[in-house]
Structure formats: structure tokens, C-alpha cells
Amino acid sequence: MALRIHEAWILLFVIPGLVTPAAINHEDYPADEGDQTSSNDNLIFDDYRGKGCVDDSGFVYKLGERFFPGHSNCPCVCTEDGPVCDQPECPKIHPKCTKVEHNGCCPECKEVKNFCEYHGKNYKILEEFKPSPCEWCRCEPSNEVHCVVADCAVPECVNPVYEPEQCCPVCKNGPNCFAGTTIIPAGIEVKVDDCNICHCHNGDWWKPAQCSKRECQGKQAL
């Protein structure tokens, strides 16, 4: 019995020696969180608080020094509490501005609209133009186009005509009116048939002519 006990003790000392370091799989024993991040402990960042200021590119400025941090176009002053940047009250951009630059601390207008747009065409300020024979327009300083439409008078004839490039109709043959279906000139009496003499109303050219019957030539012949 004593021999068996002695052999058991020998096995206990021999078996641990058979387990080599290569036989241990590190994946079975995950490292602690502290061990995983220990590799980052060697990265030490300089602390410039109270000593200077750093811009976006990593450049260091001394206390009291003016600089542009990169995220702002306005100058900043390096203080112990960090950059203190100017916040000026920038002028308002003109509503007619068509090109704005943001290179400086305040946006700056580089181009102002100095023309009017009307029906696909551009006109200079105070320029007058006629988009149609009956319209007179002008490009105002406000970049708006103001137009007036001609108010044509009532023509003094029953057969007015429209000439090219003219807004209002014209009476090429002078004032006239209708006597039945016949057009007679104004200002004179016209014998429209054997029994009727007609003339136009004064000023009322759109009204039918005034006619009076006379002794018919046919009756005299009888």
C-alpha cells in the first residue's frame, strides 16, 4: 500500500510538467479590459490649457496672440480660458446681391444686380422699352419693370384698321358711319337711294346714320 501511495505522488509531480506554454490557447483566456487598453497608455497628449491655444492644424499660439483657429474667419485672441473670437455685427447683404464671398470675417457682396428681367430679356436700370405696340415699360431702380397699357380712344369710323407697330386702330378714310349696310362719310349728306338722304351723327360715329325721305324720283317720273 505504501508503494502505491508513493507512485501517486510521483504522477502528481510529473503530469504538470507535461503541459508546456505552447499548449495554452490565449483565446480561451481573454485579457482584462485594462490589459487591452494598456497599449494606449503610451500616447501622451500635451495639455496647453492655461499655456496656449491650438488651431485646427495643431499649431500652438501663445497667450495674447491673435490667430484664426480655422473654424472661423474672424480673428481670435488666445487666453488662459481658450480662444476668444470676435463676433462683429456684420452689415446686411443687399437683397440685389447676386454674388457673396465668405473669405473674410463678414460675408461680402461682390456683385449687385443692376438690370431688370422681363419676358426672358434683360434691360438696364431706367431703360424704356415697348414689349408690344400697346405697352410702354421702364426698368426701375428697384429691378422691377413697370408698364402702362395704352388706352385707345373710340375710333371715329366703323371700319378702323390696325397698322403694323401701331397700338390703336386708325380710320384711314376719315370719320364715317353706317346708313343701313352702306358706309357713308361724316360731315356731308349722302343720298343712299332714290328716296333717302342720310348723314352721320356729330361725334357719335358708332350710331346709325340719320336719314330723311325726300320725294322719290320714281314718283316724279310717273
What would the pLDDT profile of 5-21 be if each residue is shown by its tens digit?
A: 444 444 444 444 444 44
Which of the two residues, 72 and 62, has the higher pLDDT score?
A: 62
Extents of the domains making up the chain: 51-113, 115-149, 154-215
- How many CA atoms are closer than 13 Å to the CA of 36, on its beta-carbon side? 5
pLDDT, position 6:
46
- Pairs from 172-179 (Cβ < 8 Å, separation ≥ 24): 175/200, 175/205, 176/200, 176/205, 177/201, 177/205, 177/206, 177/207, 177/208, 177/209, 178/208, 178/209, 179/208, 179/209, 179/211
pLDDT at res. 218:
56
Residue with the bigger pLDDT between 111 and 190: it is 190
pTM above 0.75, yes or no: no
Is 174 within 8 Å of 157 (Cβ atoms)?
yes
The answer to whether residues 105 and 74 touch, using CB atoms and an 8 Å cutoff, is yes
Q: Which is higher by pLDDT, 124 or 50?
A: 124
- Any idea which fold 115-149 has? Complement Module; domain 1 (2.10.70)
Q: What is the C-alpha separation between 209 and 178, in angstroms, rounded?
A: 6
140 Cβ neighbours under 8 A, 6+ residues apart: 116, 125, 126, 146
